[in-house]
Amino acid sequence: MSGSNTDTIPDRPGRFLLHYIRRRPWSFGGLFSVIVAAAGCAVAVQYGMKLLIDAMASPDRAAADVWTPLGLFLGFIAAENVLWRLGGWLGCRTVLATGVDMRLDLFRHLTGHSMRYFSEHLAGSLGNRIAATENAATTIFRTLTWSIVPPVTDFLGAVLVLLTIHWGMAAALVLFALVVAVAIVGLGLRGRTVHHAFAEQSARTNGELVDVVSNVWTVKAFSARGRERERLRQAFTVEAGAHRRSWMHLEKTRVVHDVCLWVMAGSMLLWALLLWRDGTITTGDVVIVSALTFRILHGSRDLAFALVTATQQVSAIDESLRVIARPHDVLDPVPAEPATPGGGAIAFERVSYRYPEGRRVLEDFSLTIPAGQKVGLVGPSGAGKSTIISLIQRLDDVQRGDIRIDGQPLTALAQDDLRAKIAVVPQDIALFHRPILENIRYGRPDASDEEVFEAARHAFCDGFIRQLPEGYGTLVGERGVRLSGGQRQRLGIARAFLKNAPILILDEATSALDTQSEQEIQAALADLAQGRTVVAVAHRLSTVSAFDRVLVLVDGRIAEDGHPTELRRRGGLFNSLWQLQAQGFAAE
């Protein structure tokens, strides 16, 4: 259920990543175990080489046992390769499956936010944050598995091997590694601010780019390509500056790391040669110290790069989670009441609602709509019409009072159960870039093809659909751009027919249409409204002329309430609006 109390995701990068590791403990545990074993075999290969060289350095070549060290050496090489390939197979399955889970969970949580949340964020930046979070998490898992665990294992293995050669060298290696680790981690933590700033700016810039592309018609219509290019140039320049600061911090960290490793490698090799000259260690010991030193040298460089990369990716996840993972404003009750069957009676009981910035929209507002009644909402902009239909759908919660449908408080129902009782035909029909059949079936996913065709016939769109080259299989384009406004409106009505909900909300469903299209769609809406409770926001008052009741709203209160004929007879605000529209139509 969207927006339920349990529908949350961790809002901190560490807890977020650990959450998904815990989902697949055996998979991740097996993966890390295999990688540790593979890296351990790599160290063992070096030790096998030492044993082989020591055997070959024996004065009595005939008596020297070189075959056992050779067998160990070759065996460890074979085991290492097998384990790396097994780790790659496990990593592919585990990391990719986890990425799918992440995107689905982020999508679920994102769509559980109230509509107010979506009005405050660019759609492009939100979609980019889901993709960026999954990409960053996948990068961290890959980095941890192949660039952090192996060098750490190499280091621990090197310490164990050095303990068998000279405990002082082992102790020095541990001490030096701790100093370098503290320095690198400290620099990494200091860079979180610049990494976070880059991630935030990147998401904002991508959102602006998607916003411009989504409104390309407006850009062309107002000859604004040059203006938008300049605007994006400024945004890209700011993003590049943030990226440059993040990048340069990484380079500074790498310089510190390289200097430290040069000192360590030189010191260890010089020490080993001095011990060899004194006869304290063997030639094979010098070889393995050299091999392990260079292995740690390259491995720690990879580790340093991996740590700073992980720091960047953690900052990207943190930035995304701050936006997406915030708590939902509208929550499902736990447990939720089952929705009771009914005709769609609606009641507002002393409802007060304010916008987040504090502006009052409704104050102590009460309204009762019996089941089956057709009610029109009219009035000037900002009077509260759209707020009322939004609150009926519980797209936001009221600050005080109750709204009930068939006697049940909206807050007692799961949001999906509530909205299953409501069909909406908005002014701007939202269509997916999918076939027409799938767009209509969105109203009831389990509907048969014949039921979809029947709904289309009721909405007077079956005819034009079948004239299209691919009929019901025609792709409508993004947001339905390949169809006319009237055609999109008919598809929206067909979708509402198919849903067959007891409550119908019409949000200025014909205000943007030409007269002929409006007449055809009015006929379809009249058919759709039969036997349902209807709440309609009307820009054209002719839409509500045949309704049972009209509410004239002014500043969030009901100024007039009655049958449209009666309201015209009273000579109040509704009659004034009617006369103004009648004069406008006469002038046309």
Q: Where are the domains of the chain?
A: 13-324, 346-587
Residue 519 phi/psi, 5° resolution? -65, -40
Considering only 281-295, 339-353, 451-465, 528-542, which range has the smallest mean pLDDT? 281-295
Tokens of 263: 């000192």
- Identify which of 317, 28, 309 has the alpha carbon closest to the alpha carbon of residue 147: 309
Residues 191, 318 contacting (CB under 8 angstroms): no
Residues 290, 272 contacting (CB under 8 angstroms): yes
Answer yes or no: is pLDDT of 122 > 80: no
SS (H, E, C) 108-148: HHHHCCCHHHHHCCCHHHHHHHHHHHHHHHHHHHHHHHHHH
Q: How far apart are CA 365 and CA 378, in angstroms?
A: 16
Q: How far is CA 441 from CA 379, 454, 455, 534, in A?
A: 34, 11, 9, 22
Q: pLDDT tens digit string along 238-273? A: 888 888 888 888 777 778 777 877 787 788 778 878
Tokens of 480: 């339905």
Which CATH code is given to the segment(s) 346-587? 3.40.50.300
Q: What single-letter amino acid sits at 92?
A: C
pLDDT score recorded for residue 221: 66
Q: How far apart are CA 511 and CA 522, in angstroms?
A: 11
Q: pLDDT tens digit string along 438-476? A: 999 988 999 999 999 999 988 888 888 999 889 999 988
Q: pLDDT tens digit string along 310-328? A: 877 888 898 889 889 998 8
173-188 mean pLDDT: 74
Side-chain half-sphere CA neighbours of 183 within 13 A: 17
Q: Which residue do the tokens 């916008």 mark?
A: 355
Q: CB 223: neighbour CB atoms within 10 A?
A: 8
Q: Which residue has the higher pLDDT, 568 or 178?
A: 568
Q: How far apart are CA 312 and CA 189, in angstroms?
A: 10
Query: DSSP assignment of 159-225, as one string?
Result: HHHHHHH-HHHHHHHHHHHHHHHHHHHHHHHHTHHHHHHHHHHHHHHHHHHHHHHHTHHHHHHTT-H
Q: CB 468: neighbour CB atoms within 10 A?
A: 15
Q: pLDDT tens digit string along 79-113? A: 989 999 999 999 999 999 999 999 999 999 998 88
Highest mean predicted confidence (pLDDT) among 47-61, 499-513, 544-558: 544-558
Residues 462, 409 contacting (CB under 8 angstroms): no
Answer yes or no: is pLDDT of 170 > 80: no
348 Cβ contact partners less than 8 Å away, ≥ 6 residues apart: 365, 366, 367, 368, 388, 391, 401, 402, 403
Considering only 75-84, 161-170, 315-324, 338-347, which range has the smallest mean pLDDT? 161-170
Q: Which fold has domain 13-324?
A: ABC transporter transmembrane region fold (1.20.1560)
> Widest CA span of the chain, in angstroms?
123
Q: How far apart are CA 84 and CA 38, in angstroms?
A: 6
Considering only 264-268, 293-297, 332-336, 378-382, which range has the smallest mean pLDDT? 293-297
pLDDT score recorded for residue 2: 44
| Mean pLDDT, all residues of the chain | 84
Confidence of residue 63 (pLDDT cuts 50, 70, 90): low
Q: Which residue has the higher pLDDT, 544 or 292?
A: 544
79 Cβ contact partners less than 8 Å away, ≥ 6 residues apart: 37, 41
Q: CB 308: neighbour CB atoms within 10 A?
A: 23
Q: How far apart are CA 586 and CA 226, in angstroms?
A: 42
Tokens of 164: 């068998």
Strands 533-537 and 503-507: parallel
Strand, coil or helix: 493:
helix
Residue 486 phi/psi, 5° resolution? -65, -40
Supply the pTM of this predicted model: 0.77
Q: How far apart are CA 227 and CA 312, in angstroms?
A: 33
